[in-house]
Amino acid sequence: MEKELLLMMPGPVPIPERVRLAMSRQAINHRSAEFGAAYADCVRVLKTAFGTTNDLVVISGSGTAGMEAAIANVARDKKIACLVNGKFGERLYKISQRYGQATEIKSEWGTPLNLDALRAQLEAGAQVVTLIHNETSVGIKNPAEEVGRLCRKHDALFLMDGITSIGGDTVEADKWGVDIAITGSQKCLAAPAGLAMVSVSSRACERMTKNPPFYLDLAAYRKSASGTPMETPYTPAVPLFLALREACLLIDEEGLPARIARHQKMAKAVQAAAKEWGLSLFPKIDALHNYSSTVTAMEYPAGVKDDDMRGIVKKMGIVIAGGQDHLKGKIFRIGSMGAVSAPEILATLAATQHALKKCGYTPKGCGVGAAAEVLG
């Protein structure tokens, strides 16, 4: 029998049964009260997770569609300062290059952002700033509030990718001065892949380009969402919306504070395991940066091969992530986001501990035990 793999990677994540079942029904008209009610439920819960009262729209497309929508609508032909300390920061920079005059403010992956360089860019006239709040590729949490303060001071628009923080960690888009915040369905929300959610401040609306893209025209999404029933401009991925609605209702039922506390505890448990094993966490943090609360990246000990280690973990039915680009073979990442909790974390850490041993590394102590202390 083909067994389901437990996905403990930073997206996609396991989807609760209620969410999956919501996709298995007969087609419905997307211009109907029924669809409008589902969309409204999503938006109501998502606004709390974003920490915003701004307009929020859902786009059929993965998280990257949300990133491109943000840049293409408000940053076209503008001076864009892109903060980069990992793969996804780089992606926002690449998108920015397609639409405006982008400058990369580059730090080594997994190291603190250079906020002095950001100040200099803002003083030199940067009109838009891009940030990854939780840089999934390296497991670092970047100082969104501080970046927001600098943007406000210089009247620049603040675009924040919260794709692996929103719904799993504290996000206060309005308090932090975020003009456009973005998330995706298959990360902390524990919904199927394929939807992007974007919140838009009134400041951002006032500064929209007169030359927006067609499919990703945020003004069109806002207009369709403001009617009764709520709609999208073009046919949406209806089954995914119905699943997202269930995922949002689950968030509502758990309560956002409890959900965030659960994520923080899981991340602490994985960090405790790494420490007990004698493995270094990959990010270099400082007073403004922190370890991610949704994905933990740790360095491979000398001699342990990525393919072998993760191969053994996978044989036990669990998928964890390796490093991307130049970090391939150097780090591995354990996602702890969405609907998972102690059982999944403990199984993942037990399999990882076993795999490390099989690959010739002798962990200093029992990481599984240390994690159980945190979770118990």
Nearer to ligand PLP, 184 or 323 (CB): 184
| Residue of 8, 11, 56, 371 that binds ligand PLP (CB under 6 A) | 11
Nearer to ligand PLP, 30 or 187 (CB): 187
Nearer to ligand PLP, 162 or 367 (CB): 162
Distance, CA of 222 to CA of 323 (rounded, Å): 37
φ/ψ of residue 282, rounded to 5: -70, -45
Report the site for ligand PLP in 151-190 (rule: CB under 6 A): 161, 163-164, 184, 187
> What string marks each residue from 198 to 237 as x (binds ligand PLP by CB under 6 A) or -?
----------------------------------------
SS3 assignment for 112-177: CCCHHHHHHHHHCCCCEEEEECEECCCCEECCHHHHHHHHHHCCCEEEEECCCCECCECCCCCCCC
> What string marks each residue from 76 to 95 as x (binds ligand PLP by CB under 6 A) or -?
------------x-------
CA atoms within 13 A on the CB side of 173: 33
Distance, CA of 81 to CA of 119 (rounded, Å): 10
- Is 63 one of the binding residues for ligand PLP (CB under 6 A)? yes
Nearest distance from residue 86's CB to ligand PLP, in Å?
8
Nearest distance from residue 314's CB to ligand PLP, in Å?
20
# residues near ligand PLP by CB under 6 A: 13
Token pair 């990481």: residue? 367
Distance, CA of 129 to CA of 82 (rounded, Å): 6
- CB-CB contact of 185 with 196 (8 Å): yes
Nearer to ligand PLP, 191 or 368 (CB): 191
Q: Cα–Cα distances in Å, from 98 out to 78, 93, 103, 105, 202? A: 11, 9, 12, 17, 24
Provide the sign of the torsion angle of the four alpha carbons 6, 295, 275, 265, taken in this order: negative
Any idea how long the chain is?
Answer: 376
Nearer to ligand PLP, 160 or 312 (CB): 160
Strand pairing report for 157-161 and 140-141? unpaired
Distance, CA of 267 to CA of 296 (rounded, Å): 7
Mark the segment that binds ligand PLP (CB under 6 A) among 13-21, 58-66, 240-248, 348-356: 58-66
Judged by DSSP in three states, 281 sits in: strand
| Residue of 131, 132, 359, 372 that binds ligand PLP (CB under 6 A) | 132
- Is 62 one of the binding residues for ligand PLP (CB under 6 A)? yes
Nearer to ligand PLP, 129 or 370 (CB): 129
Nearer to ligand PLP, 210 or 326 (CB): 326
Nearest distance from residue 370's CB to ligand PLP, in Å?
27
Token pair 């076209």: residue? 76
Mark the segment that binds ligand PLP (CB under 6 A) among 39-47, 56-64, 138-146, 360-368: 56-64
Tokens (6 digits) for 26: 């007969």
For residue 322, list its beta bridge partners.
Answer: 332
- Is 23 one of the binding residues for ligand PLP (CB under 6 A)? no
Mark the segment that binds ligand PLP (CB under 6 A) among 61-69, 208-216, 262-270, 337-345: 61-69
Mark the segment that binds ligand PLP (CB under 6 A) among 59-67, 298-306, 346-354, 368-376: 59-67
Footprint of ligand PLP on this chain (CB under 6 A)? 10-11, 62-64, 88, 132, 136, 161, 163-164, 184, 187
